[in-house]
Amino acid sequence: MKFFIERYSRRKVEENPLWLVVLSDIMTNLMLFFLILYVFSIHPETEAKAIFVDGFDKEAQKLKEKKAEEVVKKFTEEDIARKLAEELLKAGLKDMAEVQITDKQIRINIAAPVLFASGKARLGRSASEVLAPVALVLNKLPNDIIVEGHTDGVPVKSGDYPTNWELSAARSDAVVSLLASKYSVPQERMIAAAYGEHRPVASNGTAAGRARNRRIEIILARK
């Protein structure tokens, strides 16, 4: 009889070790409790309290510093973008270039005729003068850059590119290449994108609307 009782008891313990988990949790909590009491016993009350909360204070300080850096960065981006808008205005590009600032991005919109001849993707002579202040901004900020090419909705009838999409792709590539080669904007920060006529900002039913749709947009993502 004793043999069967011992055999049954061992099997019960081996098959149901959950009590060990509970016991280990209790022992851990007790160890931490006595450790805190020990710290308070070997230090004066105020010093022990300072040691105890020091870890929390450091984390709070890190969060405050991070928020402060984000605020400073935000205002720096906005200040630089406003200065760029002023430079473009001084260059006589009031109706041909604009800077838009939102919480998520800084968008620099440049009318295509300022940079390219009709139906072409080769940058004109005035392109460098327009892109110089833009490149200065791009080099001051570490943000990622997207250069987008856009066209109007009029189908391409002649020229080097059979579709508006291919024309917009070639134009965005040309801008990226110039920014990298002449103004040393890091290539790893830039992406060339092409949308052709598929993202209009105005109606293609009027000459004024088509003119607005023919554009290069340089976008800085705000982190």
Q: Both 135 and 182 in a single domain?
A: yes
* Pair 47, 103 in one domain: no
pLDDT value at residue 58: 64
Examine the domain organization and report whether 60 and 92 are in the same domain. Answer: no
pLDDT of 45 > 70? The answer is: no
Residue 104 shares a structural domain with residue 214:
yes
**Are 54 and 86 in the same domain?**
no
- pLDDT beyond 50 at 4: no
Give CA angle at 143 (140, 149), nearest 5°. Answer: 105
Number of structural domains the chain divides into: 2
Q: What is the DSSP string of 13-34?
A: HHH-THHHHHHHHHHHHHHHHH
Do 95 and 191 belong together in one domain? yes
Same structural domain, 39 and 83: no
User: How do residues 199-210 score in pLDDT, each as one tens digit?
Assistant: 999 999 999 999
Question: What 3-state DSSP class applies to 150?
Answer: strand
- The CATH code of the domain that includes 132 is 3.30.1330.60
Assess whether 113 and 164 both reside in one domain: yes
| Owner of token pair 């965005």 | 172
Distance CA 191, CA 177 (A): 11
Strands 145-150, 190-196: pairing kind: parallel
Q: Mean pLDDT across the stretch 101-118?
A: 91
What integer is the mean pLDDT of 127-139?
Answer: 90
Give the whole-angstrom CA distance, residue 105 versus residue 125.
29
Residues 55 and 151 in one domain: no
Same domain, 141 and 180: yes
Q: Are residues 203 and 116 in the same domain?
A: yes
- For residues 198 and 151, is the Cβ–Cβ distance under 8 A? no
Statement: residue 38 has pLDDT above 60: yes
Q: What is the pTM of this model?
A: 0.67
Q: Give pLDDT, residue 91.
A: 74
Angle at alpha carbon of residue 176, lines to 172 and 181, rounded to 5°: 150
The 190-196 sheet, strands edge to edge? 97-101, 105-111, 215-221, 145-150, 190-196
Q: End of a domain among 13, 47, 65?
A: 65
Same structural domain, 32 and 116: no
Domain hosting 13: range is 2-65
